[in-house]
Structure 1
Amino acid sequence: MTQTSPLRYYSGIATDGHNWDAFEYRPGDVFVCVPPKSGTTWMQTICGLLIFGDPEAEIAIPDLSPWIEIRLNPEDFKMRLARLAQQSHQRFLKSHSPLDGVPYFEDCTYLICHRHPLDVHFSMRNHVHNMKIDALDHFYTDDIAACFDAFLNNSIEDGGMDQPSLELIAHHLTTARAMAHLPNVHLFHYATLSQDLPGQMARVAKAIGVSHAPDLFDRLVAKASFKAMKSEALMRAPGATRGLYKDPSAFFNSGQSGQWQGWLNAGQIADYNAKIATLLSPEDRHYLETGTAPSFAL
């Protein structure tokens, strides 16, 4: 076993990367490392269904698969770690941090998923407006143009983990790219999950060492569909049972790509093109936006 402590502690309104210092890993743990609104809950749901192997089981994803870096008071965080330690099944954990902020273990599995940055931005806007708390409202005001400009220019420095940031999304991919050659690091994409859920679930199953008979696997795939997750939002969406959302099912808004089209004018798209060109190579940008033709092994 080789372990590296996080090289970088990410922080923000909702994030405290120092929480990893208290985390005790277990061989076989699965780390679901996905930027916000890029398929985190989808990957967690897939893991839960494959690990438990029961399409009818009531799998409360937020309770079983905790977000380690979330800011909590010390006692609540200790309770979360204690519940995690009591789990006897293969554990699967949630992280929004880039991989340089997540501890690495050779005998664990890392599942990473990305999504077109413009879809992420507008999906997050819908998400924040659906929340009953106002902690993030100042990032997504009625001035859509100003918010988009901030998305293009916000830095991840100085506690910027939870603010809109194209730089953060690109950095997440860059850190994943740097580790993609490792046999326990597996990259996925939101668009590919949408287009080929059975094939991508088969990839996840192989990555985490789980197999099921074909008929059962098909039923698990059906339960992992976007429609199924939306219908079970109270079990799937983080914070739903605590009344975090105005409409829990709206956490799963539509599951479609390209919804940003029509929101941005030609000048804003040109600004996006110019900014992302400073952050990623053309090949990596193409992968981030489409999930196809990456310049590195999956």
Structure 2
Amino acid sequence: MNKQRLLSGHETELLTSEELRKIREDRVMYKSGLVRILSDGWLYPAIATRYLDWIYNMELRPDDVFIITFPKSGTTWMQEILWVMLRNPDLDPNNKEMKEPLWVRSMDLCFDMFFDNYELAKTDMKSIAEKFSRVCPGKKKEDGMVIQIAESQPLPRVIKSHFPLELHNKDLLKKCKVVYVARNPKDVMVSNYHYVRVIRNENYQGSLEKFARDFMKGDLLLCPYWPHVLQAWRQSDNPNLYFTTYEDMKDDIMGQLRNINKFLGKNLTEEQLKKIAKFTSFSSMKTRGDPIDKAFYIEDLWKKQGGMFRKGIKGDWKNHFSPELNQEMDQWIRDNVKDTGLKFKFGN
């Protein structure tokens, strides 16, 4: 069937062979093809429909904290902040969980669908497979290793997702805390471009300018960008959602940590927050190494570009944009933020 309806009420539509041909020119593809989730047109591996219903029905717990972002918006940084604040605020070096990579301590609900990729299917995600065997005995991998690990994790859970708010359980903002991090779309695009060139499930071969235009059209995995961000922005007054930006985190991390501390009701001391700020700084996280398995990326390209923590700066787009591309993206931004009240910082 080319169409189906998800439990969330969204209709799905498989990409045609012609649409797939255009996308296949630049990157590695998926066994099941690609699907759009209507009406906004989210682009995912088609196997995502299997997991989206599971996620929509996922049992929520009142002390769950979700970190939701569009990719490359400061997710890993905030993910580590939240996990440490909730599960190891004193940064105890003997904490057993801290010895695990971040992507096993805090599961990404999007990740199961990527195993349908032709290249990624050949690899062995050792840390995920080992944890699944340990905490989900007797369960089936094809039902989603990551989702099932997330369901089994000890409380409080820090759960990561790049799916937009509307594809999660309808009671998410009634029952749980959600931290949403946005980032200016120019830097999001540039960071995503560098990232997809070196991960096995993409190995993107196109130019930055083509990538940018596909990004604006919503023809990249996990796009489109604006509906994702604006759904969260419109909920920014909800007491269970904390909306912040990567740029605000870079400008005043201690102020952000104080806000998050209050939002989570943790009552951590100023000294604890200072230590967390240092522990989760770009330089500290880069020194500790990549939080994901080597099997996920193309090692020589990954190292050449600097690994997971490439630059960690604001305004890197200025090093990549032609005047024409900048003008085109400025218009695209103006068209989409008009009458929303959402503003971004684009400078250093």
Residue 196 of structure 1, aligned match among 252, 270, 292:
252
Match in the other structure for 1:125: 193
1:87 aligns with 2:119: no
User: How far has the Cα of 1:85 moved from its partner?
Assistant: 3.4
Tell me, yes or no, if structure 1 residue 113 matches structure 2 residue 181.
Answer: yes
- Give the Cα–Cα distance (whole angstroms) in 2 for the partners of residues 245 and 251 of structure 1: 12
Matches within 5 A, 1:146-295: 146-154=210-218, 161-162=221-222, 165=223, 168-234=224-290, 237=291, 239-240=292-293, 242=295, 244-246=297-299, 247=302, 250-281=307-338, 284-287=341-344, 289=345
Confirm or deny that 1:34 pairs with 2:75: no
1:96 to 162, 170, 180: 162
Give 2:45's aligned residue: 13
Change (3 A) 1:29 1:210: same
Q: For structure 1, which runs of at least 5 residues remain unmatched after alignment? A: 292-298
1:252-296 CA distances to partner (integer Å, 9 max, x unpaired)? 111101111132222211111222222222664523x459xxxxx
Larger RCO, structure (CA 8 Å, separation 6 or more): 1
Cα displacement (A) at 1:64: 1.9
Name the SS for the 2:316 alignment partner: coil
Taking structure 1 as reference, are residues 198 and 227 closer, same or farther at Cα in structure 2, changes over 3 Å only?
same
Measured against aligned partners, the alpha-carbon deviations of 1:141-174 in whole angstroms (never above 9, x if no partner) come to 2x3322222222235xxxx543xx5xx2221221
Aligned pair in 2 of structure 1 residues 136, 250: CA closer, same or farther (>3 Å)? Answer: same
What aligned pairs does 1:136-147 form with structure 2 within 5 A after superposition? 136-138=202-204, 140-141=205-206, 143-147=207-211
The gaps in structure 2 that reach 5 residues or longer are 1-6, 11-36, 117-139
Inter-CA distance 282–253: structure 2 relative to 1 (3 Å threshold): farther
Distance in 1, matches of 2:273 and 2:214, equals 43
Taking structure 1 as the reference length, the TM-score comes to: 0.80
> Which residue number in structure 2 is paired with residue 294 of structure 1?
none
Would you say the 8 A contact 1:30–1:111 is kept in 2?
yes
Misfit runs of 4+, over 6 Å: none
* Cα gap change, 1:144 to 1:217, in 2 (>3 Å): closer
Larger mean CA deviation between 11-20 and 105-114 belongs to 11-20
Amino acid at match of 2:195: H
What is the deviation of 1:75? 1.6
SS of residue matched to 2:175:
coil
Please tell me whether the aligned partners of residues 18 and 69 of structure 1 are also in contact (alpha carbons under 8 angstroms).
Answer: no
Paired positions, count: 271
Q: Which amino acid aligns with 2:336?
A: L
Report the AA paired with residue 322 of structure 2. N
Per-residue CA deviation, residues 216-246 of structure 1 (Å, 9 max, x unaligned), is 2211111011111111233xx3x33545352
**TM-score scaled by length of structure 2:** 0.70
Instruction: Give the structure with higher Rg (CA).
Output: 2
